[in-house]
Amino acid sequence: MFPEKSLILLFSNFPKYARIIVVLGCINMVGMGLSGCGFEPLYGERAARGLSSLFSTIQIQRPAKNPNNDVNRAVYNALAKTLKLESKPRYRLDVIAGGNKEGVLMDNNSREARTRYMLKVHYSLYDIKEGAIVTSGSASSSTSFNVNVSEYANLVALESAEARAAKAVAEKIVMKLASWYRPMAQ
């Protein structure tokens, strides 16, 4: 007999409230097992200083006021939602973003029907007091959008793709900064 059938036969004699209690008990046991495995959330503030103390001391370098700098501004805005400077800056984060798009799908009339937008960002974290780079790296993301006959619709779709890719890249940069800082905080 299969285990599912034996479990059904075992629980069929139990009243409904007893089956609910058994199921909740099993879920509780799984939860207690996971709590002892050492899992700690990214923003956990246990014995060591947490990541919020790092994130509140990072100043993000503002992108230059250049009309061709929309991608850098999108990455800056996405990072600014997580890295909120609350005190005197200890670190400065420099970000250089570059994006490109390429057609990936053609329709029956040999027109571009789908475009892939790829964003690659190089970042450097400077220690302001020491005047040196403490960590650097890169992060990338890609997304795609449908190409329409309307140029306005294509522009809006491209801006939306840039914003989605910038958000994804900002999350990756924050995770990389967290993994750099975690050993020093313990």
Q: Indicate the pTM of the whole model.
A: 0.70
**pLDDT tens string 29-59:** 777 666 666 655 555 555 445 667 778 888 8
The single-letter code of the amino acid at 77 is: N
**pLDDT tens string 110-136:** 777 888 999 999 999 999 998 899 999
List, as own/partner pairs, every contact residues 44-49 make where C-beta atoms lie below 8 angstroms and the sequence separation is at least 24, other chains included.
Answer: 47/186, 48/185, 48/186, 49/185
Site of tokens 């900064």: 177
What percentage of residues in the chain have a pLDDT greater than 70? Answer: 77
